Amino acid sequence: MTYIPHSPKERDVMLATIGVKSLEDLFKDVPAKHRFPKLDLPPALTEMEAAVELQELAISNENNCTDLVSFLGAGVYNHYIPAVVDHILRRGEFYTAYTPYQPEISQGTLQAIFEYQGLMANLTGMEVSNASHYDGATAVAESVNMAYAQFRGKRTKVVISPTVHPQYRETLRTYVQDMGLTLVGDDPLLISNLDSLISLIDANTALVIVQYPDFFGRVFDFTGLIEAAHAQGALVCVAANPTALALFKTPGEMGADIVVGEGQPLGIPMSFGGPYLGFFTTKKAYIHKMAGRLVGETVDNRGQRAFVLTLTAREQHIKRERATSNICTNQGLLALAAAVYLSLLGQTGLRQVAELCYHKAHYAAEKISKIKGYELCFDAPFFHEFSVCCPKPVAEINDQLLEHGILGGYDLGQDYPSLEDHMLIAVTEMNTKDEIDALCEILAEVNHD
């Protein structure tokens, strides 16, 4: 917290204490032309005028799923969020709370985080969860930090599938700079199969990273790959879509060591890119190398159930230079949103959401594949995203879809040069049969133009 002096005398004492004579001296290291730049600001507005202008700006921005029908996914999805999620988040006890260092006054926040951890561990099939990272990309990068710490830097190779989300891979490349690690497989020109990925694993491999379903929406059983990695002594991280885990075999059942991902589908709005929630789960054997907050259950001096931050020696504010990671702040409010969402839907409700996504996506894929000029790019099983080979550039098709109030799919050619004119389409429970039919009609018209 910054302290502001209340009087000129107090200010002078503070300046003298740090060895300067005036406030201007504090800025002497900043070039004069940059010290006090003139801001080109418009004339001041009254509160009423400012509110009107902001409303006009909001209205002009129609790229949202209130005004448009969306088939755009690629990591962020338009799911229904029950009203109670936002209602609980806005309670003052949660909305203003930060880090619960003082357990005696933070039991509500600590218990909410504890429940979130249990829910995520059950969903992924793992043994322990932390209290979240910033987003899915951060969680993937932190899995590398954990593996690096687990092997004490003696293994220097990380194998990552090129079908992991491009933004996750980009974030990872930033993280591993100057760590002495080598990334293998991170090549968009090599859309590899599992066998080619396994061939990259050797005795120097610390971690193997795959995505489930992968960026193209395909679902693979990674049991064989995980066994091959373990045979070489390597760890395996699976970046998973949490909604898909309600329907398919969990990474924990496959033998994964770490399961991470983007928690946005769990009751968190798209919000034009964030804030989001990175979940991180693992086995108990690796808990001491796991970054982020961890809440545990205990009893107080009266024998009552209580919750505390536990194993805090793992964190950078305790271990500092010996910590696994310098990440510390968690996305507590968003972890609460995920806990409320999962608790409200329950196992049956979440599976129903996943089934709706699955069946609607397969209905859309079947209809699109029958349109002349369009075909499914892959024959592998998929969840609620699928890749379509298009007869025209994706940007051109999306422009025409937008004219009809539809956000089209993701242009895969942006990240994979070999997939030019390929579109990634996402379908969730929010998309109706009429909307899917309308999409197909416009796609057919585009091909005839």
Model pLDDT for residues 262-272, shown as the tens digit of each residue: 999 999 999 98
Interacting residues of 232 by C-beta distance below 8 A, sequence separation 6+: 201, 202, 203, 205
Higher pLDDT, 26 or 64: 26
77 and 91 in a common domain = no
Which pLDDT belongs to residue 78?
96
305 and 422 in a common domain = no
Residue 2 included in any domain: no
Label residue 1 by pLDDT band (50, 70, 90): very low
pLDDT digits (tens, 9 = 90+) for 12-35: 888 888 888 888 888 888 888 887
279 and 165 in a common domain = yes
The whole-model pTM stands at: 0.88
375 and 251 in a common domain = no
Residue 42 included in any domain: no
Stretch 428-441: mean pLDDT:
97
Of 209, 222, 223, nearest in space to 165 by CA: 209
Burial of 317 per CB tally in 10 Å (0-12, 13-18, 19+): exposed
Residue 229 included in any domain: yes
pLDDT digits (tens, 9 = 90+) for 123-146: 999 999 998 899 999 999 999 999
Domain-ending residue, one of 308, 341, 374: 341
Residue 149 included in any domain: yes
Which pLDDT belongs to residue 24?
82
Residue 211, H or E segment: strand 205-212
309 and 263 in a common domain = yes
Domain-ending residue, one of 321, 341, 361: 341
Residue 433 reports pLDDT greater than 80: yes
Q: Read off the tokens for 183.
A: 């990334």
Residue 5 included in any domain: no
Q: What is the CATH number of the domain that holds 228?
A: 3.40.640.10
Rounded Cα–Cα distance for residues 45 and 275 (Å): 29
**Does residue 345 contact residue 93 with C-beta atoms inside 8 Å?**
no
182 and 110 in a common domain = yes
Stretch 140-153: mean pLDDT:
94
Q: Running DSSP on this structure, what letter comes out for residue 187?
A: -
354 and 319 in a common domain = no
Higher pLDDT, 106 or 434: 434
Q: What is the CATH number of the domain that holds 365?
A: 3.90.1150.10
356 and 332 in a common domain = no
| Alpha carbon distances (Å) from 132 to 76, 100, 117 | 17, 14, 9
Q: Read off the tokens for 284.
A: 């108990």
* Percentage of the residues of the chain whose pLDDT score is greater than 70: 96
Rounded Cα–Cα distance for residues 280 and 352 (Å): 24
Higher pLDDT, 409 or 188: 409
Residue 2 reports pLDDT greater than 60: no
pLDDT averaged over the chain?
91
Rounded Cα–Cα distance for residues 196 and 190 (Å): 9
Residue 24 included in any domain: no
Residue 146 included in any domain: yes
What residue numbers bound the domain in which 186 lies?
A: 83-341
Residue 8 reports pLDDT greater than 70: yes
416 and 360 in a common domain = yes
Which pLDDT belongs to residue 389?
97
376 and 366 in a common domain = yes
Higher pLDDT, 41 or 414: 414
Domain tally, the chain: 2
Rounded Cα–Cα distance for residues 286 and 230 (Å): 15
Label residue 318 by pLDDT band (50, 70, 90): confident
219 and 279 in a common domain = yes
Phi–psi pair at 234, nearest 5 degrees: -90, 160
| Alpha carbon distances (Å) from 428 to 276, 366, 377 | 19, 16, 20
Which pLDDT belongs to residue 6?
60
> Taking CA 114 as the corner, what is the angle to CA 109 and CA 118, rounded to the nearest 5 degrees?
150
Rounded Cα–Cα distance for residues 422 and 389 (Å): 5
For residue 361, how many other CB atoms are within 10 A of its CB? 24
Domain-ending residue, one of 278, 307, 341: 341
Residue 367 included in any domain: yes
Residue 101 reports pLDDT greater than 80: no
143 and 114 in a common domain = yes
Residue 208, H or E segment: strand 205-212
